[in-house]
Amino acid sequence: MKFTKMHGLGNDFIFVDYFKTEIPDLDFSGLAIDLCDRNFGIGADGLVLVLASNAADARMRIFNPDGSEPEMCGNAIRCFAKYLYDRGLVLDNPLTVETLRGVLTLEMQVEGGLVESVKVDMGEPILKPEHIPTTGTGDMVLNYPLIVDGKEFFVTAVSMGNPHCITFVENASAVNLKEIGPKVETHDFFPRNTNVEFVQVVDRGHVMMRVWERGAGPTLACGTGACATAVACVLNDKTNRKVKVTVPGGDLFIEWGEDNHVHMTGPATEVFTGEITLF
């Protein structure tokens, strides 16, 4: 199996291309578990399939390292656009991508014929508690006291197609992610589990964020997480609608427009191509 290794701010993915070929009858969930393993496989935060689409220029499927299939992925979709455009598979700019969250539009910044960064219209945030989903009621889960290990965490829940649980902290780097992350990820309040973001506000235009990802654990960056964080910051009156989100892997630029759409801008990088023999 030929593959291409790519990343968005260190959030890394294995790309497998079926854009012009038949999709083999493979257990991609099981394959993701094997290939994403950093010791026994290639190592990555996810497996991404490049597919043809009847509804858009192309279709993206992604599998987490635990084999689960999330609805959307911000860092991978920027890499997805670069993969298609740099190879001349799609020449439109902007281009459209079909995901489980719907069809999204991506605008590429090209230098020397290659994509350097991508601005993605990530769509509207989903705030209705039962649509995130959570077991909460009312209009939204805002500064809600979630009990974890007997301790109260005030959380805001936002979906960008995939669920996110955001909590504000004094010092993001002091959070014991491995301790608290999985407990919030699998909390009963989140029937389909959740990604977990710890956010430290620097000023009204800048925050620091660390993430424990659903089905992946700690990662260096999360695009949907950065978008959900920006929305939570505005809802809690912490920042303006335009905010730089600094994650361990670098900076993402997020704007929650007056049209209620969230726009994410960030880099996409190709690292190497290779081939792996499947047993």
144 vs 212 by CB, closer to ligand ZDP: 212
CB of 88 to ligand ZDP, least distance (A): 25
* Catalytic machinery residues: 73, 222
Rounded distance between C-alpha atoms, residue 196 and residue 93, angstroms:
33
Element (H, E) at 63: strand 58-63
Q: Interface with ligand ZDP includes 216 (CB under 6 A)?
A: yes
Q: C-alpha distances in angstroms, 249 versus 9, 60, 82?
A: 5, 23, 19
- 4 or 21: CB nearest ligand ZDP: 4
Question: Largest Cα–Cα distance of the chain, in whole Å?
Answer: 55
The number of beta carbons lying within 10 Å of the beta carbon of residue 170 is 8
Q: Give 219's strand partners.
A: 211
159 binds ligand ZDP (CB under 6 A): no
Cβ neighbours of residue 68 closer than 8 Å, sequence gap 6 or more: 29, 214, 215
According to the binding rule CB under 6 A, does residue 64 interact with ligand ZDP?
Answer: yes
Interface of this chain with ligand ZDP, residues 116 to 135, rule: CB under 6 A: none
Query: Exactly one of 159, 195, 200, 229 binds ligand ZDP (CB under 6 A); which one?
Result: 195
Distances (CA, A) of 59 to 13, 68, 211: 16, 18, 26
Binding ligand ZDP (rule: CB under 6 A), the pick from 4, 11, 134, 246 is: 11
Which of the stretches 67-75, 124-132, 196-204, 255-263 binds ligand ZDP when contact is defined by CB under 6 A?
Answer: 67-75
Residues that bind ligand ZDP (CB under 6 A): 11, 46, 64, 70, 73-76, 162, 195, 213-216, 219, 222-225
